[in-house]
Amino acid sequence: MFDRFNENKNCLIKIEFDGTVLDALEGEMVASVLMAAGIMNFRDAPVSNTPRGPYCMMGVCFECLVEIDGVGHQQACLVPVRSGMSIKREKAKRLISDDLVC
Amino acid sequence: MTSDFIVIGGGLVGAAVSYGLLKLGATVTILDEGDTAFRASRGNFGLVWVQSKGDGMHEYATWSRESSDLWPNFAELLVEETGINVGHHRPGGLELCLDEAEYMDFENSINRMHNQPNVAENGRRMISGDEVRRMEPSVGPEVVGASYCPYDGIVNPLYTLRALHQKCIESGLIYRPDHEVKKIIPQIRGFKIITNEGYFLSDKVILAAGNGNKALGEFVGLDIPTGPERGHIVVTERTSPLFNYVLGAIRQTDEGTVMLGATKENVGFDSGFNFEMAAKIIDKAVRKIPALKKLRMIRSWSALRIMSPDGFPIYEESSNFPGAFVITCHSGVTLAAAHALKLAPELLGNDFNGKFNAFSPKRFDVR
Amino acid sequence: MTLCVDVVIIGAGPAGMSASNMIHEYGGRAVILDEQSEPGGQIYKAIDRVMRDRPNELSWLGSAYHDGARLTKKFRSQAKDYQPGSMVWHIECRNLDGLYNIFYSQAGVSKKIETKYIVIATGAMERPVPIPGWTLPGVMTVGAVQSVLKNSGMYPSGKLVLAGAGPLVLQLASQLIGAGISILAILDTSPKGSFLKALRHFPRALFAGDYLYKGWNLTNKIMQSNIKVYRNVTELNASGDGRLQNLSFKVNETKHCLKADTLALHEGILPNVQLTRLLDLEHVWSPRQRSFSPVVNSWGETSLSGVFVVGDGAGVSGARTAEYSGAIAGIIILERLEYIKESQRDLIIEDRKFRRLLDEGIRPFLDTLFPAPERIGEVPDKTIICRCEEITAAEIREVVKKGCSGPNQAKAFLRCGMGICQGRMCGTSVTEVMSKALEKKPADVGAFRVRPPIKPLSLEEIVTLNDN
Ligand SMILES: Cc1cc2nc3c(=O)[nH]c(=O)nc-3n(C[C@H](O)[C@H](O)[C@H](O)COP(=O)(O)OP(=O)(O)OC[C@H]3O[C@@H](n4cnc5c(N)ncnc54)[C@H](O)[C@@H]3O)c2cc1C
Ligand SMILES: Cc1cc2nc3c(=O)[nH]c(=O)nc-3n(C[C@H](O)[C@H](O)[C@H](O)COP(=O)(O)OP(=O)(O)OC[C@H]3O[C@@H](n4cnc5c(N)ncnc54)[C@H](O)[C@@H]3O)c2cc1C
Ligand code: FES
């Protein structure tokens, strides 16, 4: 869990995580914003199904993967927030099978 | 150091043959290269494939089918012996066609193989695009049809290699990695094998060194006309189960990753990566299965196949230096079961060349 | 159409920015690709934004950080072809004409650039520190906590424990103290006697005396705070139900337990060799830093002519050295492209080489004071080494017993290193564990082969790139 030094700044950007609206400041990374909202558990590991969260915050561990605006496996620690972003937690194995029935 | 057999090469061919020999009580040493050697067994696609095998040589069609039939038992044996599940499945295979020309090619091949004498029936038939989509709903509209064979399957080739190594070592195999064979000197009885780490002695020597065989053959009077053919493979992230069948160049592993393969290039001893090849593979795959577009590519690589001029295996005991054998093939995953359970015993018998006459490299002299 | 350029610089940290600044200063041009959304690299991460939006935080982030603005200012004003958010995923050598193709992905679209020269300035990453329980959410690295601090102005709000050794631990602690954030404990893992050993390198370190002064200040700040510091810590374990809750460790045979919400690990940093391995360049093992780095000559060029590696990616030696190395590579390229004369080149190079030599004086001292841990090869059996495929140290030791002779065979046998991080997180540890198990030097054990793409890409991206 993380806190902002400056809580009273106007959080102008709104993003959504699994349906919940979160406040963010321009320039903040998606991963930081989730952690500031108390979310440490970003996804389930594909092998053991156990929860994982950010480890390196510099794009090398791939533990912070989330789905952003429909695109899976994005490194939340490298992506700055944009207003209206919709973020989803990733299941152990991503499903693409909804699209499979042609 | 002395043993009944020295096997040169610890890939799928060398390991399968050693497995069979050790089961029959022989003592075996494998001499292998190091961690970064060319090793087709580490870079392949993992098909246990029957449908396209043996167009032009019915013995090969029969041999491939035989190995496919041995695989279920072989896989079970390996699990029992090592605890390693090698992930063998035989759901049947579909080779998807993106145009009429491809469809015709497959159809002609079926007819040719059907007309070969003594060929084992492999149940292969052509099916229409609509039937394909009924069997495999993820198949896209561009697919015009497919060639289907119920005996096609898959296995995890890496776990197979690991299980074979593990069982062999537990059965007394002496495994020597980082021992590149430089020279083989035939003795009055047996062979002296010189490596970068000293020499070894044995009664019999088996060349199972993949693309290394050609050079080694010269020491024991074996002419082995093989060469490297590069193939690229692309693998995706893990995803939920997608397919009912193995789709030739598209298959899903037990772990959930989807493998896409494989190209053919003649570039010598170079296992580098060529972007155009990967792009070609991906292009075809998403035309066949449009939903794959959404998946992420995790890695791609290339590896070198061991190709003979006609693509069929080469098995032979040297007539100048009896006791020296070569075992090599294009599809060492498919044939691993046959190599372990059927071919290895013949190495202990005394009519190897008689049994495998069709696979002798002498077939290339005639032409 | 493919873009054709003279120079592509990969990475906009001190090394990459300095190469770019030098090249632009003398009229040359370069494309700069960096996967981050702002220039600065690891050390000067988000410096411009902090100065603009959160200037009050500069006082505790420190003067060394503030210093980065000097580079970013010049960089932003000159580097017209700086492409933020651009991740390089493949480099292809073209044998026919000696050019290189660089493939990168920006905002979900992949592009290709053709270039004569490449400056790889991709920096370093922290050494992954496998301990039991390190995959639990809440276990992070010191650099990760610092990244959030710089990048987003946030700090860990619960019970925070720092564990490990290295200048970065001192620096983060001092930054947090400055900001008034409490640290529950610091677990110092450097072995006994390191300080005495390091004294041998003290005279040379004096040439970079400001570092010593800074280090002294940092240490003092921590001593004067009321943070509990445990020394000679061993057998660190993390546990918890779905997240980090408990820590246990030993100090001289006495077991200690702590409750914690965030654990920040650190055991030094390693060159990021993803691109240099992809290019199949020769790498050497540094026994002192316990890591592989690519072989480069004194101006940063590799065995592939036209490919330079500068900064921490060529061997960890800090931001200032990175800056000098970047400038040297830039100057060499300028001369080859005939923007400057040989005599001019030599003058600038000698100056930078001299400054680099002084600056590097601190390294032997630092590397001995905070020695790279040898114990990673000996982590407990149950420790996960490969986080992606969840392969433990025991499994690696087991395949070694069954004849597995190197990391690439281990990868084939276990899937270790085959996961989504492409072996970044387990590569060094696998070499270390196999080295101990095989009783071979890490240099002889070797490392994973790296294959493209170095980060995942959607298949659609490849199809679209190919269509263009
Ligand atoms: C891209 C690709 C896809 C494939 N897909 C399939 C498939 O789907 N199904 C299938 O059945 N087959 C497939 N194959 C083929 C299959 O991988 C090979 O037939 C099989 O791995 C060959 O095994 P091998 O032991 O002969 O050769 P290798 O695996 O190459 O092993 C040879 C061994 O010999 C060692 N060696 C060489 N020279 C020396 C020396 N002088 N001294 C000591 N050791 C030496 C090498 O280090 C190596 O370990 C594919 C191959 C490729 C490249
Ligand atoms: C997490 C971390 C924190 C650190 N903090 C400090 C500190 O506070 N103080 C200190 O003195 N030293 C610190 N260091 C050490 C510091 O990194 C170096 O001394 C210095 O930054 C090295 O500069 P560089 O230019 O070589 O690399 P970096 O500054 O690391 O810059 C490399 C750049 O390359 C980019 N990059 C990497 N791979 C790719 C790719 N494939 N495609 C596109 N771009 C890519 C990265 O995004 C990054 O911006 C830290 C190191 C790490 C790993
Ligand atoms: S936290 Fe490690 S990649 Fe994002």
Sequential DSSP letters for C33-100: EESSSSSSTTTTTTHHHHHHH-GGGHHHH-HHHHTHHHHHHHHHHH-TTEEETEEEEEEEE-TTTS-E
Residue C408 backbone zone (phi > 0: left; psi -120 to 50: alpha; other: beta): alpha
C431 neighbors C447 (Cβ within 8 angstroms): yes
Q: Ligand 3: distance of its center to the CA of A36 in Å?
A: 16
Ligand 3 atom at minimal distance to the Cα of residue A57? 1
| Residue A68 CA from chain centroid, whole number | 7
Determine the average pLDDT of the residues in A74-82: 96
Determine the average pLDDT of the residues in B164-184: 96
B105 neighbors B59 (Cβ within 8 angstroms): no
Task: Tell me if C409 and B42 make a contact (CB, 8 A cut-off).
Answer: yes
- In three-state secondary structure terms, A12 is coil
Structurally, at CATH architecture level, domain C375-445 sits in Orthogonal Bundle (1.10)
B292 neighbors B258 (Cβ within 8 angstroms): yes
- Structure tokens that stand for C266 in this block: 């650190």
Task: Tell me if B279 and C462 make a contact (CB, 8 A cut-off).
Answer: yes
For B205-216, what is each residue's pLDDT tens digit? 999 999 999 999
Which of B40-44, B158-162, C356-360 is predicted with the least confidence, judged by mean pLDDT? Answer: C356-360
Task: Tell me if A95 and B239 make a contact (CB, 8 A cut-off).
Answer: yes
Report whether residue A54 contacts ligand 3, using a CB cutoff of 6 Å. yes
C341 neighbors C312 (Cβ within 8 angstroms): no
Distance between CA atoms of residues A42 and A52, nearest Å = 6
pTM score, whole prediction:
0.95
* Ligand 2, atom 1, residue with closest C-alpha: C143
- The pLDDT of residue C1 is 63
Nearest to B239 among A93, A101, A102 (CB): A93
CA torsion angle C361 C365 C368 C371 (round to 10):
-80
Distance between CA atoms of residues C467 and B329, nearest Å = 36
Q: Give the start-end residues of each E strand in chain B.
A: 2-8, 28-31, 47-48, 93-97, 125-128, 145-149, 153-154, 174-176, 181-186, 191-195, 198-207, 227-238, 250-252, 257-260, 296-307, 314-317, 324-328
Q: Give the start-end residues of each E strand in C194-245.
A: 228-230, 233-239
- Cβ of B133 under 8 Å from any chain A Cβ? yes
CATH classification for the domain delimited by C128-267, as one of 3.40.50.970, 3.30.70.2740, 3.40.50.720, 3.50.50.60:
3.50.50.60
Nearest to B237 among C90, C406, C420 (CB): C420
- Cβ of B256 under 8 Å from any chain C Cβ? no
Determine the average pLDDT of the residues in B352-362: 97
- Cβ of C422 under 8 Å from any chain B Cβ? yes
Residue A99 has pLDDT above 50, yes or no: no
Q: Ligand 2: distance of its center to the CA of C237 in Å?
A: 28
- The pLDDT of residue A12 is 84
Ranges of CATH 1.10.10.1100 domains, chain C? 375-445
B344 neighbors B242 (Cβ within 8 angstroms): no
- The pLDDT of residue C321 is 94
Helix (H) or strand (E) holding C246: strand C246-251
Ligand 3 atom at minimal distance to the Cα of residue A59? 3
Ligand 1 atom at minimal distance to the Cα of residue B9? 34
Residue A100 has pLDDT above 70, yes or no: no
Q: Where are the domains of chain A?
A: 12-91
Distances (CA, A) of A39 to A2, A30, A53, C157: 9, 11, 9, 12
- Kindly indicate the confidence band of residue B366, based on its pLDDT and cuts at 50, 70 and 90: low
Ligand nearest to the CA of C125: 2
Q: What is the fold, at CATH topology level, of the domain defined by A12-91? A: Ubiquitin-like (UB roll) (3.10.20)
Q: Which of B288, B294, B296 to mutate to test the interface with A (most CBs of A within 10 A)?
A: B294
C392 neighbors C314 (Cβ within 8 angstroms): no
Count how many Cα atoms sit within 13 Å of the Cα of residue C173 in the half-sphere of its side chain: 33
**Interface TM-score (ipTM) > 0.85:** yes
Distance between CA atoms of residues B190 and C169, nearest Å = 64
Ranges of CATH 3.50.50.60 domains, chain C? 3-125+270-340, 128-267
**How many CB atoms within 10 Å of residue C430?**
27
B205 neighbors B187 (Cβ within 8 angstroms): no
The one-letter amino acid code at B101 reads A
Roughly how many angstroms between the first and final C-alpha of chain C, as a whole number?
Answer: 7
Helix (H) or strand (E) holding C115: strand C109-120
Q: What is the fold, at CATH topology level, of the domain defined by C3-125+270-340? A: FAD/NAD(P)-binding domain (3.50.50)
- The neighbours of chain B, by the rule of 3 or more Cβ pairs under 8 Å, are A, C
Those residues of chain C that have pLDDT short of 50 are none
| Residue B100 CA from chain centroid, whole number | 29
Distance between CA atoms of residues B208 and B216, nearest Å = 10
Determine the average pLDDT of the residues in A71-88: 95
Min distance A19 CA to chain C CA atoms (Å): 22
Q: Which residues pair with A88 in a beta bridge?
A: A67
For B285-343, what is each residue's pLDDT tens digit? 999 999 999 899 999 999 999 999 999 999 999 999 999 999 999 999 999 999 999 99
Q: Ligand 2: distance of its center to the CA of A102 in Å?
A: 46
Ligand 3 atom at minimal distance to the Cα of residue A75? 4
Q: Which residues line ligand 1 (CB under 6 A)?
A: B 8-14, 31-33, 37-41, 43-47, 49, 180-181, 208-210, 212, 216, 231, 233, 261-262, 303-306, 328-334
- Output the CA torsion sign for C287, C290, C296, C298: negative
Q: Ligand 1: distance of its center to the CA of B14 in Å?
A: 9
Q: Which of A55, A74, A75, A85 to mutate to test the interface with C (most CBs of C within 10 A)?
A: A55
- Cβ of C59 under 8 Å from any chain A Cβ? no
Ligand nearest to the CA of C168: 2
Nearest to C242 among A4, A41, A75 (CB): A41
C412 neighbors C465 (Cβ within 8 angstroms): no
Closest C-alpha among C331, C305, C147, B344 to residue A35: C147
Q: Which of C105, C146, C154 to mutate to test the interface with A (most CBs of A within 10 A)?
A: C154
User: SS3 breakdown of chain C: % helix, strand, coil, rounded to 5?
Assistant: 40, 25, 35
Q: Where are the alpha helices (DSSP H) in C79-208?
A: 142-152, 167-179, 194-199, 202-205
Determine the average pLDDT of the residues in B94-123: 88
Domains of chain B: 2-47+158-225+310-364 (3.50.50.60), 93-150 (no CATH), 227-307 (3.30.9.10)
**How many CB atoms within 10 Å of residue C338?**
8
Distances (CA, A) of C94 to B286, B302, C279, C383: 28, 17, 12, 43
Q: Ligand 1: distance of its center to the CA of B13 in Å?
A: 7
Max distance between CA atoms of chain B, in angstroms, equals 66
Q: Which of C462, C464, C468 to mutate to test the interface with B (most CBs of B within 10 A)?
A: C462
- Cβ of A28 under 8 Å from any chain C Cβ? yes
Task: Tell me if A102 and B138 make a contact (CB, 8 A cut-off).
Answer: yes
- In three-state secondary structure terms, C254 is strand
SS3 readout for B279-346: HHHHHHHHHHCHHHHHCEEEEEEEEEEEECCCCCCEEEECCCCCCEEEEECCCCCCCHHHHHHHHHHH
- Kindly indicate the confidence band of residue A96, based on its pLDDT and cuts at 50, 70 and 90: low
- Kindly indicate the confidence band of residue A1, based on its pLDDT and cuts at 50, 70 and 90: confident
Q: Using a CB-CB distance cutoff of 8 angstroms, which residues of chain B are in contact with residue C90?
A: 273, 275
* Ligand 3, atom 3, residue with closest C-alpha: A59
Antiparallel, parallel or unpaired: β A51-52 and A43-44 = antiparallel
Cis ω on the peptide bond leading into residue C453 (within 30° of 0)?
yes
Angle subtended at Cα B96 by Cα B120 and Cα B86, rounded to the nearest 5 degrees = 65
Q: Ligand 3: distance of its center to the CA of C180 in Å?
A: 26
Distance between CA atoms of residues B360 and C106, nearest Å = 55
Nearest to B294 among A46, A96, A101 (CB): A96
Residue C446 backbone zone (phi > 0: left; psi -120 to 50: alpha; other: beta): left
